[in-house]
Each structure stands twice: as C-alpha cells, then as structure tokens.
Amino acid sequence: MNVIEVPDASDERLADYVRLRDVNLRKSLEAEHGLFMAEGEKVIRRALRAGYVPRSVLLTERRRAALADVLDRLDAPVYVVAEDVAERLVGFDLHRGALASFHRRPLPDLEDVLRGARRVVVLEDIVDHTNVGAIFRSAAGLGIDAIVLAPRCADPLYRRAVKVSMGAVFTLAHTRLRDWYGGLEALRGQGFRLLALTPAPGSVPLAEALADAAPDARHALLLGTEGDGLSSRWLEQADARVRIPMAARDVDSLNVTAAAAIACYELVRR
C-alpha cells in the first residue's frame, strides 16, 4: 500500500478532492480529468468490486486503517490527511473519513446495453442528482435490466448520485443517448415498446398496459423531468401513455422517485 501523508490542503496531489460541494467546479473538473468520486467505505468497495480503477484514495487520520484489505492490492496512492485538512480541502466535515477518485470508463454502446434486456428505464431530463441516484437504487434493487439517459439527464456518477444510489450506478448497466430528438427510435428498433409515464389525462393505468403485452415483450419506461414531466416530443413518440392511479385528493402526482419505484415494481413482476 502506497501511503502518503499530506499536511497541506493546497498540495497538488489532492487536486481531485477540492471543493466537493461546488457543483459547477466539480462538473468541469470531473469531465476534464475523466474521474468520479466515491464517498464512504461501502461505496468505495462497491466501485472496486465493479472493476473501476482508482486514481487515488483519501483517508482522514482517524480512518487511516480503513479499506486496508483492498488497498493492499492496489497501486493507487493513499493520501492520509488530518481532519481539518480534509475539511478545508473538500469543503465540509468528512465524517465518513474515506473518499476515492476513480477513472471513468467510456459508456457502452446502446446496443450492448440493450442486448438481452427486457425491462429498461429511460430518463429524459432528470436534473437532480439525488433523484437520479434514488432511481438507480430502486431500479437495480427491483431488477430492471438497464437505464438509458437522455443527453441532458444529470450524471449518475456525480458524487451525490453515487452516494444516494448506494453504488447501484456501478452495477446497473447504463448509457446515454447522443440524440434526444430521434433517440427513442433506436429503442423501438430493438423491439422495445415505449411506455411514457405521465399523470396527464388520456393515460392508462400501467398495470393495464402491461396486462395486454406478450409475456416476452420488451418494455422501455420513459420518465420525464421533475417539474414538467416528459417533453411533448417523447410523449408523441411513445407507444402508450401510462399512469399510476391516483386517489381523488389534493395531491395530483407522485414525486419522480416514488413514481419510478412503483413503475419498476410493476414492470418486473410480469
């Protein structure tokens, strides 16, 4: 294990870890260097188990023995810093005591992600990393085969999404469409029936839409952005508009993570 004590938060070697709460800075830094961050022992272990290669690991002095079993086998440097150095560096109290910077991998081709998949979730423009992470966690837990992201959907490997997903972003196959306007055609071309989830009038209960389908049908569930839902383009492209039945109350819709969880549950039990 290559352990290096670093006394100074401005040390160049710690550059991957600066200002983790500064979303704009982090987005450009992570894109530029092709890296992502994993936080906490459990999530770091999951990234390693999924075959991601670490650039480096950062441990606070209190947790310097953490992860020793897996770090022994790695070449990546392990930086050990004092708690106050960690806080100055990342911008908050690093109470979990462990961070790691990993190399991203190129996203797989859509065709590879869809091969063999029967139930797929497609996220149009979810903007909130917490929601993206929560949807990955539910989808992976319930048994969805893959997730496809529209070009502007938030990054599932952003720190907050990784954390909320509990590392499900490492194991659940996913990729990103290059084209928003015509992107769904590629799914349809692979034989997927496109189900647009929307509370708008004219949609049918999801369970009904699925009851009509052949037992080996391939389904892609389309989920739209938090505020406005799916774009009219994608709604038009869908084969069916489906909804989760609501009670007649003052609440007219579910939040996107609750809706996604229910829809994934319904999708996998067929």
Interface region with a second copy, contact rule CB under 8 A, candidates 16-24, 94-102, 141-149, 176-184: 141-149
Q: Of 112, 116, 140, 136, nearest to 126 (Cα)?
A: 136
Bridge-based pairing state of the strands 35-39 and 98-103: antiparallel
For a second copy, the closer CB: 60 or 257: 257
Closest CA to 136 of 98, 174, 84: 174
Work out how close the CB of 253 gets to a second copy at its nearest, in angstroms, rounded to a whole number: 7
Q: What is the DSSP letter of 158?
A: S
Does residue 20 contact residue 159 with C-beta atoms inside 8 Å? yes
Using CB under 8 A, count the residues that bind a second copy. Answer: 38
**Interaction between residue 250 and a second copy (CB under 8 A):** yes
Interactions with a second copy, residue window 170-199 (CB under 8 A) = 170-172
CA angle 268–48–146, rounded 5-degree value = 25
Nearer to a second copy, 110 or 142 (CB): 142
Question: Would you tell me how many other CB atoms lie within 10 Å of the CB of residue 98?
Answer: 22
Query: H or E stretch including 123?
Result: strand 119-123
Stretch that binds a second copy, among 174-182, 210-218, 234-242, 256-264 (CB under 8 A): 256-264
Binding flag, residue 204, a second copy (CB under 8 A): no
Q: Taking CB under 8 A as the rule, does residue 108 contact a second copy?
A: no
Which of 81, 134, 154, 173 touches a second copy (CB under 8 A)? 134
Our measurement of the distance from residue 217's CA atom to the centroid of its chain's CA atoms, rounded to an integer in Å, reads 26
List contacts with a second copy (CB under 8 A). Answer: 46, 49-50, 134, 137-138, 140-143, 164, 166-168, 170-172, 207, 244-247, 249-255, 257-259, 261-262, 265-266, 268-269
